[in-house]
Structure 1
């Protein structure tokens, strides 16, 4: 069974064993507006939590994305680089960014569960 975790930068990870899929939340894509370019890390890259590893460019703004968890990139979603609007259409599914083999499973415990993330969003919108 996979587990979803979130950070305050509006990224999600879906943990499945020692692998995590990483993307941005629906809230993030809504704030960005129409996504026009996504820059992803290379397969094989070693990421440290907090290190800038990707970028998302929209018609409004360009945002760097820090790794929410440390590990080695095992796959990237070429679909979002070919068609960045996938991020707007399905940010929590087909619009995922990359997969990483998690270096330290304890790092995910520092991330929010879905209920805590929804509470966090509520504080931003009130």
Structure 2
């Protein structure tokens, strides 16, 4: 797995989504992580220091794996960029136009009445 900085990660993620538009999937996972070993965390806690936790973001398309660590300072910027990428690439999830139920039932009733008239008027 390749660990990238924030901006290269977002550009690679965009590339993954582009490559899988016709066929395939992209899996993105987010995980709470410290990026230090358990021994280092225990030493920091015993010394009175609080370890800095970050968000580990992993993405894969089945062939290529990438990851990045997002700190608290970069969280807002990453979240905005990630949301923009998802909105641009998730075209199949766009809302479709819904027909008004009352209008649909009224037109169905009118069509049913006209069909009955046509059936009874035939010799």
TM-score by length of 2: 0.27
Bigger Rg, which one: 2
More helix by share: 2
TM-score by length of 1: 0.26
